[in-house]
Structure 1
């Protein structure tokens, strides 16, 4: 199963991923984007977040 990953060192905290795919991405109280641990990720929504990320810091990782 592919897992979405956010490269935090490149993330600009714009909130686009959280807006497009709130079931997977959220901005933590500590000020960084976290990825929810899910048994399966909504591929089309994550792909939309990847496509719209201005920092290009979201990608799929194969385990």
Structure 2
């Protein structure tokens, strides 16, 4: 809730985030691979609406 569907998080970390069928971003991999932890955090912190 609150997502504006900008697509930033899946652009930064597609291993964890994706655009869902409803057009909004979602986490589809809650088990974040160690090798992309930094990108996942960057994606979360870069969210323009902080969701």
Q: TM-score over 0.5 for the alignment?
A: yes
RCO (CA 8 Å, sep 6+): is it higher in 1 or 2? Answer: 1
Aligned residues: 48
Q: Report which of the two has the higher share of strand.
A: 1
SS in 2 for 1:10: coil
**Larger Rg over CA atoms:** 1
- RMSD in angstroms over aligned alpha carbons? 1.5
Deviation beyond 4 Å, 4+ runs, structure 1 = none
Q: Report which of the two has the higher share of helix.
A: 2
Task: Give the TM-score taking structure 1 as reference length.
Answer: 0.63
